[in-house]
Amino acid sequence: MTIESAAGEIVLHPPDAHNPPIELDLEKFMGKWYVIHSTLPLWKSRKDVTITYALKTSPSEETVKFDDIVEYRSKSDPPTSSRSRVVGIDTLISSPDTNAPPASSAARSGPLGGSDAPSTGSAPADAAVATSNKSAQTRYKWRGKGWLVIASSRWQLLGCSADPSPENAAAWAVTYFEKTLFTPAGLDIYSRTAAGLPADVVAEIVEKAKGLGGDVAKLAEGFFEVERSGVDGKGTI
């Protein structure tokens, strides 16, 4: 697993940006991510939280779906215990939802907590031209599988590293989850490794989130570190 010499430019986009100027390579974005920091209350009593994405075969570019597997342990569970699992499927939202409330007052939430709208990460200034005729693949609707099939939520990618692939140990991502009947809006910071990201990178991500203003800035004030077995936590940022 390689490590970038630097995390690269950290760029976040507001949740209400329907077509943020980023070209996301979904194939590289797939795989396991560790939730290392969050504002979602449900992760305060849990640890070893990962989200694994697996792209499904789609009939067209407009139909993008991938499996979404969330795994975690309760804080009281030993690190060798089996993790609880929530399985769902994410579907790309390719056009604005005019009936949805402004994203600035929402976030993702499934049975654990979620949203439906990805925005995104670092990209060259002229990327807007490349994506002007094609929606950025950053906004999704989550639906549970099995007994959770009636549960749904929306989430959005606010930003990610230029190379989000599993082989890049310096990769990062920030997701925003819309408010639901059962969970508040929230933000997660992802890393490709349980060790997480350098403190200065996390601090910059948090400051960039605060810089978006509105409800996202308020949420960013509540970031805390999610416990990972074998990793020394530093608590609330």
Specify the residue for token string 């993790």.
83
Q: What values do phi and psi take at 205, rounded to 5?
A: -60, -45
Q: Which domains does the chain have, with CATH numbers?
A: 26-225 (2.40.128.20)
User: What is residue 218's three-state secondary structure?
Assistant: helix
- The per-residue pLDDT for 45 is 97
Q: How many CA atoms lie less than 13 Å away from 157 in the CB half-sphere? A: 29
Furthest CA-CA distance within the chain: 50
Q: Is 87 within 8 Å of 146 (Cβ atoms)?
A: yes
Residue-level pLDDT, tens digit, the chain, 237 residues? 433 434 678 999 999 776 777 778 999 999 999 999 999 999 999 999 999 999 987 656 668 999 999 999 999 999 999 999 999 999 998 765 544 444 443 333 444 444 333 334 443 333 333 334 456 789 998 776 765 655 668 999 999 999 999 999 999 999 999 988 778 999 999 999 999 999 999 999 999 999 999 999 999 999 999 999 988 654 433
Paired with 157 in beta bridges are 175
Taking only Cα atoms into account, the Rg of the chain, rounded to an integer number of angstroms, comes to 16
The alpha-helical segments, DSSP class H, found in the chain are 26-29, 127-131, 199-211, 214-220
Tokens (6 digits) for 181? 């009947």
d(CA 151, CA 139) in angstroms, rounded, equals 17
CA gap 80, 69 in Å, rounded: 19
Place of tokens 């508040």: 184
Please say whether the beta carbons of 172 and 7 come within 8 A: yes
Distance CA 120, CA 49 (A): 21
Q: Quick: pLDDT tens for 118-171.
A: 334 443 333 333 334 456 789 998 776 765 655 668 999 999 999 999 999 999
